[in-house]
Structure 1
Amino acid sequence: MIQALLLTANLLLADDAAMASCPLHAQHMAEAAANANAGDAHADGNHAAEVDHRHDSFGMAHDAAHHRFTATDDGGTIELRANDAADAKTIAAIQKHLQSIRGEFAKNDFSKPQFVHGRMPDGVDTMQRLHASIMYHYEPLPDGGRVHLMTKNAEAIEAIHAFLKFQAVEHRAGDTAAQ
């Protein structure tokens, strides 16, 4: 992104003769256009497609499963279920993914959500700071699985709720109303 900005600034300052004499002028222009289009993709709604694509890298097609993020009085849950209860491959991938997430979160590692969403999700900074007060529990379900995020710390509960709300919006999974 910085390279594209520098290139754009140089292009604005250069005269037409200098640009035309650059042996890589066409390549520079193509790179600048590609970088500009990549930035626009996030702004025009293609971010959802990026999230789906990155999520698919965990062994399950995004459209083969559905998420549910639920805020609770003591934290919340992340639930992922196969759309087809007979899809053993997707169910196994979901369970493996959620077990991995539980283990990583317990180790204060939130790199997967950051990878999937292209930025650190809301609430994570506080969850990391208060990680000793948060417990993570994985629960297998017949068609997927669930991760419970639990704490007695009010600040951590707020952070978990922010995290779940972020996830719900990003995965287009509805609200995170407390149960």
Structure 2
Amino acid sequence: MAPLCAQVLEYEKRLDEVAERGAHAMPFDLEKTMHVFSKTRHGGIQQVIAKDASDTEQIQRIRDHLMEISVEFRQGDFSKPEQIHGEDMPGLAALKSAGPDQISIEYRELPDGAQINYFSRSPQLIKAIHQWF
């Protein structure tokens, strides 16, 4: 097998594993929702949106989950993304070690889901957020 083909197969296998672990860690249907990660000058915005704006069940599940993890993240607990992506996820170690005065993590509802805003003045943490995204 050609090296490039082997790399593609390994990448696809990794995506399947992440999707399987994500389905266990996130209470909403991954097929009915969309994740959007936007890097900003001072951090980033993580959005989860229901593909069908009338799907109130998925929207509530999104909101509940993002509210829960935003509280955990403010406490330095990033165990849920670590379960999905592994402990070597880019940027994760820096985010876990950040003090509450170094990073702001704020939850906000959207009409069709929710978002978490990440803000820091630390270049190292901004870089970590961008890597994590």
Identity level (%): 30
Alignment size in residue pairs? 123
Structure with higher strand content:
2
Counterpart among 60, 68, 74 of residue 92 in structure 1: 60
TM-score, length-normalised on structure 1? 0.64
Cross-structure match for 1:144: 113
User: Which residues of 2 match residues 26-105 of structure 1 at below 5 A?
Assistant: 43=10, 45-57=12-24, 58-105=26-73
Q: Give unpaired runs (5+ residues) of structure 2.
A: 1-8
Aligned partners of 1:120, 1:94: CA distance in 2, in Å?
A: 25
Superposition RMSD on alpha carbons, in Å? 1.5
Give the direction of change, closer, same or farther, for the CA distance of 1:68–1:129 in structure 2 (3 Å limit). same
TM-score, length-normalised on structure 2? 0.85
Cross-structure match for 1:16: none
Aligned partners of 2:70, 2:81: CA distance in 1, in Å?
A: 12
- Tell me which stretches of 4 or more aligned residues in structure 1 moved more than 4 Å: none
Give, in angstroms, the shift of residue 49 of structure 1. Answer: 2.0
RCO higher in structure (CA 8 A, sep ≥6): 2
Give the direction of change, closer, same or farther, for the CA distance of 1:44–1:127 in structure 2 (3 Å limit). closer
Give the direction of change, closer, same or farther, for the CA distance of 1:128–1:119 in structure 2 (3 Å limit). closer
Give, in angstroms, the shift of residue 154 of structure 1. Answer: 1.2
Counterpart among 93, 99, 111 of residue 125 in structure 1: 93
> Radius of gyration: which is bigger?
1
Task: Check the 8 A contact 2:48/2:115 in 1, yes or no.
Answer: yes
Structure with higher helix content:
1
Give the direction of change, closer, same or farther, for the CA distance of 1:128–1:59 in structure 2 (3 Å limit). closer
Task: Check the 8 A contact 2:76/2:98 in 1, yes or no.
Answer: no
